[in-house]
Amino acid sequence: MTLETGSGVERMRIHSTGLIQTGGGGTAPVTMNDSVNAFNDAGLTIMQDAHDDEILSFKSSDVAHGMTDLTQTDTYGMMKKVGATTGGLGVQGFGQITAGVHVTGHQGSTDTGKDSNSGGAVEIRGALKTGATSGAISANGNILSIRNNTTVRFIFDAEGSGHADVEWTTFDEHDDIALLHDIEATMVPDTFGAAMKYDAPYLQKIGIIGEGSLREENSKTRGMINFTKLQMLHHGAIRQVHQQLQDAKYFYEDKIAALEARLMRLEN
């Protein structure tokens, strides 16, 4: 069956195989395939010819983002292949002054667990094809990478480690130690001055280690770490050591001054 305009231009074709093609018969770039198996397994399947253009576009007549070098001005999102022959799903969004892609997860209840079985409102998974199934990413393999355009800046790996391509910035016009002390005192007052106990129960109590997350894995003790609080803890330790060194410095300066005064009296 074909659907045509009054002048005989074909706009849609329904094949005996169950394919629905839009745009003009077999030359259509977008093909919808609702085969018998697709109904049972995949619902609606969108098939694409051998090219790299977007397979699905989202448009709105009230959108005019102006990024016409990238896509048409009324296109605010698209899906396409990542690799021409290797596959992969690419999602792109276009927003002039808003987020290009905005992801929100809504939950009916909150998971407050801090262990390897806990989840969140938004969940991102990486998996490795293992035989006929999918399994965990191999040891030291990268689960998630974040790029600034084409350059990787952050990597999270299968060992639970985070890696950052960091260029440190210093506060040239400030006393960094005093500035960090002010931030620490504001966010967690009177907490880390006494937090120099590296036993697991205490570190869980103050939130350095996630409650119930400690476990043995591959002969190693592992746990979810709150790195922000850990940095505050270490800063508190550095500050305490600094104060002890200052106290020792003042003590010996006073002693030296007293000895010098006594020596001068003996010489006279």
Q: Do 244 and 184 belong to one domain?
A: yes
Predicted local distance difference test score (pLDDT) of residue 220:
72
pLDDT in tens, 207-255: 777 778 877 777 777 778 777 777 777 777 787 788 888 889 999 999 9
198 and 162, same domain (yes or no): no
Residue 30's pLDDT band, with cuts at 50, 70 and 90, is: very low
pLDDT band at residue 199, thresholds of 50, 70 and 90? low
For residue 40, name the pLDDT band (cuts at 50, 70, 90): very low
Contact 169, 160 (CB under 8 A): no
Q: Is the pLDDT of residue 25 over 90?
A: no
Which H or E run includes 93?
Answer: strand 87-93
Closest CA to 116 of 206, 247, 213: 213
Whether residue 83 is contained in a domain is answered as: no
Please check whether residues 143 and 213 belong to one and the same domain: no
CA pair distance 178, 174, nearest whole angstrom: 8
Per-residue confidence at 15, pLDDT binned at 50, 70, 90? confident
pLDDT of residue 206: 73
Q: Which of 34-43, 44-53, 93-102 has the lowest mean pLDDT?
A: 34-43
90-98: long-range contacts (C-beta < 8 A, 24 or more apart)? 92/54, 94/65, 94/67, 94/70, 95/65, 96/65, 96/66, 96/67
Are residue 180 and residue 262 in the same domain, yes or no?
yes
Q: Identify the helix (H) or strand (E) that includes residue 87.
A: strand 87-93
The answer to whether residue 149 is domain-embedded is yes
- Residue 14 inside a domain? The answer is no
- Please report the pLDDT score of residue 228 as a whole number: 74
Q: Is 197 among the domain residues?
A: yes
Q: Is residue 182 part of a domain?
A: yes
Can you tell me the mean pLDDT for 44-49? 69
Residue 140 lies in a domain: yes
Average pLDDT, rounded, for the chain:
78
- In terms of domains, do 238 and 189 share one? yes
Q: Is the dihedral of CA 57, 62, 66, 72 positive or negative?
A: positive
pLDDT the model gives residue 60: 92
Question: pTM for the full model?
Answer: 0.60
Count of domains observed in the chain: 2
88-146, pLDDT tens digit by residue? 899 999 999 999 999 999 999 999 888 888 899 999 999 999 888 999 998 889 999 99
Can you give the length of the chain in residues? 268
pLDDT value for 181: 62
Which pLDDT value is given to residue 27?
46
User: Percent of the chain beyond pLDDT 90?
Assistant: 27
- For the chain, what percent of residues have pLDDT higher than 70? 75
Q: Look at residue 36 and tell me whether its pLDDT is greater than 60.
A: no
262 and 187 inside one domain = yes
Query: Does some domain include residue 219?
Result: yes
- Its domain, for residue 245, covers 176-267
- Residue 151 is assigned to a structural domain of this protein: yes
pLDDT at 267 (0 to 100): 84
Q: Are residues 219 and 262 in the same domain?
A: yes
